[in-house]
């Protein structure tokens, strides 16, 4: 049993400021020398960049469906045994989805801190908080942090609307990058079409987090020391140890592309490859790295559309991949990785860029979201007990004559969804896999030539 203060940072909806508050709270305590571990609910590659920078520790996913309850229990218990504070950033609204943030908080007894955008709100905050707190009678509760508040008078109005004054954990002003002393006024954590800009892409990222942490330090929540945080302490039971993963990739090297074009990589996926016995060799196509000597290649998702010309010009890597595929060695390409393999990619401005041409077909960027949500897939040659779970999230569409060797499905539905293409030793899809959901299926991806 490990006991540790823990907060689930949730909201009534997306866009309320959960990520900024979570990162600010992590940064505030980390710079005071406390050991902070942050988790992110649901599939997300971008918010964890900020949380890792803020906390100085790896950030993993928690999801009652995608990662599974046992995986969540194990990760929380391990972190609680090592940390002074656990923070879990929610996703969407508190009660949204069958496997909601509220369900996760209730399952593990973690109190909910509600972040509410109160910029255009007064006493109604009290009604919103009352609803969030009492919609489920057994929901663990911490309180509310009002976000984007105009000033002290506005904060007093918001606080007066609460039925229980103990719910008030403070108010934050609207934070802009001007608050960090950099750039033109805008969002402190800038966004683009797939979410936040990654922290590693901004040279002043830590300065932005410090500005948010400074603002949070002036609130009742931010003034809590370790002793005060004990009001949020949770007992995390030691989970049943999982069955060891057999070393199905022992002696094999998996080359993994990782840079700004291929940045959608869960650390837990790399851990799974290593637990299977694989040697992981990272390389950066945008930097011109050669393809490492390897038995298999993983091209993760990311932003090939932002770096299309550079990728297209990397003919040495293209030819190395062509030789790899010609030798029958496996390639697994997810979303953006798949786009890089196609014949061409039409960008949002209408310009068509030739890509590596190893997978027949073309893709085009769209202005609207094309697909979003949890998915699972049963790959050919892997029995039904080992379906991979994951998700899809993309703004492009693809037209390919390649064979569909499998199709993803939404949880609990029989109807097929997006294809998994097969072309020679390449498998490619919009599907982002959570490798730990089926290590055997992952081993098959990197050993079997279709």
Q: Which two tokens stand for residue 61?
A: 């996913």
pTM: 0.91
pLDDT in tens, 89-110: 999 999 999 999 999 999 999 9
Let me know whether 215 and 290 are in one domain: no
Q: Could you tell me the CA-to-CA distances from 108 to 88, 135, 169, 332 in Å, in that order?
A: 11, 18, 22, 35
- Is it the case that residue 165 has pLDDT exceeding 50? yes
Let me know whether 336 and 379 are in one domain: yes
Q: Quick check: 249 and 281 in contact, CB under 8 A?
A: no
Let me know whether 337 and 209 are in one domain: no
Question: How much is the pLDDT for 314?
Answer: 97
Question: How much is the pLDDT for 1?
Answer: 84
pLDDT bracket for residue 243 (50, 70, 90)? confident
Task: Specify if 246 maps to a domain.
Answer: no
Let me know whether 208 and 298 are in one domain: no
Question: What is the count of structural domains for the chain?
Answer: 2
- Is it the case that residue 186 has pLDDT exceeding 50? no
Query: What average pLDDT score do residues 42-48 get?
Result: 88
Task: Specify if 198 maps to a domain.
Answer: yes
Let me know whether 262 and 122 are in one domain: no
pLDDT bracket for residue 362 (50, 70, 90)? very high
Q: Quick check: 396 and 382 in contact, CB under 8 A?
A: no
To which residue do tokens 């959608």 refer? 264
Task: Tell me how far apart the alpha carbons of residues 405 and 325 are, in angstroms, rounded to a whole number.
Answer: 17
Let me know whether 206 and 273 are in one domain: no
pLDDT bracket for residue 245 (50, 70, 90)? confident
Question: How much is the pLDDT for 175?
Answer: 79
- Is it the case that residue 154 has pLDDT exceeding 90? yes
Question: Phi and psi at residue 145, in whole multiples of 5°?
Answer: -120, 115
pLDDT bracket for residue 238 (50, 70, 90)? confident
pLDDT in tens, 378-428: 986 555 556 899 999 999 999 999 999 999 999 988 888 999 999 999 999
Task: Specify if 70 maps to a domain.
Answer: yes
Identify the domain containing residue 49 by its residue range: 2-236
Let me know whether 49 and 97 are in one domain: yes
Of 184-193, 214-223, 296-305, 356-365, least confident by mean pLDDT is 184-193
Identify the three-state secondary structure at position 42: coil
Question: How much is the pLDDT for 181?
Answer: 45
Among residues 205, 236, 267, the one where a domain terminates is 236
Question: How much is the pLDDT for 45?
Answer: 84
Task: Specify if 241 maps to a domain.
Answer: no
Query: What average pLDDT score do residues 293-320 get?
Result: 97
Let me know whether 221 and 334 are in one domain: no
Kindly tell me the burial class for residue 242, based on how many C-beta atoms sit within 10 Å of its own C-beta (0-12, 13-18, 19 or more): exposed
- Is it the case that residue 183 has pLDDT exceeding 50? no
Among residues 204, 236, 268, the one where a domain terminates is 236
Task: Tell me how far apart the alpha carbons of residues 97 and 192 are, in angstroms, rounded to a whole number.
Answer: 24
- Is it the case that residue 249 has pLDDT exceeding 50? yes
Let me know whether 14 and 110 are in one domain: yes
Query: What average pLDDT score do residues 227-237 get?
Result: 96
- Is it the case that residue 179 has pLDDT exceeding 50? no
Q: Which of 41, 72, 294, 335 is catalytic?
A: 335
Question: How much is the pLDDT for 428?
Answer: 97
Task: Tell me how far apart the alpha carbons of residues 377 and 391 are, in angstroms, rounded to a whole number.
Answer: 10
Q: Which two tokens stand for residue 271?
A: 């851990």
Among residues 179, 205, 236, the one where a domain terminates is 236
Q: Quick check: 32 and 222 in contact, CB under 8 A?
A: no
Task: Specify if 248 maps to a domain.
Answer: no
CATH of the domain at 423: 3.40.50.880
% helix, strand, coil for the chain, step of 5: 35, 30, 40
Residue 115: alpha-carbon gap to chain centroid:
19
Identify the three-state secondary structure at position 199: helix
For this structure, is 263 an active site residue? Answer: no
Let me know whether 270 and 188 are in one domain: no
- Total Cβ atoms within 10 A of residue 176: 16
Let me know whether 261 and 213 are in one domain: no
Task: Specify if 277 maps to a domain.
Answer: yes
What distance, in Å, lies between the first and last C-alpha atoms of the chain? 46
DSSP notation for 93-144: STT-STT-HHHHHHHHTPPEEEEEE-TT-STHHHHHHHHHHHSSTT--EEEE
CATH of the domain at 174: 3.40.50.300
Q: What are the CB-based long-range contacts (under 8 Å, 24+) for 211-215? A: 211/175, 211/179, 211/180, 211/181, 212/20, 212/21, 212/23, 212/24, 212/27, 212/175, 212/179, 212/188, 213/24, 213/25, 213/27, 213/28, 213/31, 213/54, 215/24, 215/172, 215/173, 215/175, 215/179
Task: Specify if 242 maps to a domain.
Answer: no
Mean pLDDT for all residues in the chain: 92
Q: What is the CA radius of gyration of the chain?
A: 23
pLDDT in tens, 271-281: 999 999 999 99
């Amino acid at each position: 049993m490990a006991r540790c203060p823990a907060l689930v940072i949730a909201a009534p909806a997306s866009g309320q400021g959960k990520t900024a508050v979570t990162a600010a709270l992590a940064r505030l305590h980390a710079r005071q020398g406390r050991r902070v571990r942050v988790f992110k609910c649901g599939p997300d590659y971008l918010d964890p960049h900020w949380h890792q920078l803020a906390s100085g520790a790896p950030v993993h996913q928690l999801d009652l469906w995608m990662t599974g309850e046992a995986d969540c229990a194990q990760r929380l218990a391990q972190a609680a045994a090592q940390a002074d504070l656990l923070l879990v950033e929610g996703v969407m609204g508190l009660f949204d989805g069958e496997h909601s943030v509220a369900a996760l908080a209730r399952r593990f007894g973690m109190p909910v801190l509600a972040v509410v955008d109160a910029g255009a709100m007064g006493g109604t905050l009290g009604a919103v908080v009352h609803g969030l707190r009492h919609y489920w009678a057994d929901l663990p509760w911490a309180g509310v942090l009002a976000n984007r508040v105009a000033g002290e008078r506005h904060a007093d109005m918001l606080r007066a609307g609460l039925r229980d004054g103990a719910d008030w954990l403070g108010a934050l002003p609207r934070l802009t990058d001007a608050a960090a002393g950099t750039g033109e006024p805008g969002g402190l954590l800038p966004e683009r079409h797939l979410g936040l800009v990654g922290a590693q892409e901004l040279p002043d990222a830590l300065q932005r987090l410090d500005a948010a942490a400074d603002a949070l330090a002036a609130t009742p929540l931010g003034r809590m020391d370790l002793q005060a945080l004990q009001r949020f302490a949770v007992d995390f039971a030691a989970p049943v140890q999982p069955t060891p993963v057999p070393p199905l990739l022992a002696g094999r090297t998996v080359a993994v592309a990782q840079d700004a074009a291929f940045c959608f990589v869960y650390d837990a996926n790399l851990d799974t490859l290593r637990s299977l016995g694989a040697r992981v060799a990272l390389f950066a196509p945008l930097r011109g790295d050669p393809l490492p000597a390897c038995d298999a290649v993983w091209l993760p998702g990311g932003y090939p559309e932002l770096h299309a010309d550079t990728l297209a010009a990397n003919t040495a890597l293209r030819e190395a991949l062509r030789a790899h595929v010609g030798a029958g060695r496996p390639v697994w390409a997810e979303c953006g990785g798949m786009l890089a393999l196609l014949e061409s990619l039409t960008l949002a401005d209408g310009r068509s860029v030739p890509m590596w041409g190893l997978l027949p077909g073309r893709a085009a960027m769209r202005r609207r979201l094309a697909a979003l949500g949890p998915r699972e897939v049963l790959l050919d040659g892997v029995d039904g007990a080992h379906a991979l779970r994951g998700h899809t999230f993309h703004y492009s569409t693809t037209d390919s004559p390649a064979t569909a060797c499998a199709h993803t499905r939404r949880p609990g539905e029989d109807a097929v969804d997006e294809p998994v293409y097969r072309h020679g030793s390449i498998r490619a899809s919009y599907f982002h896999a959570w490798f730990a959901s089926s290590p055997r299926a992952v081993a098959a991806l990197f050993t079997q030539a279709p």
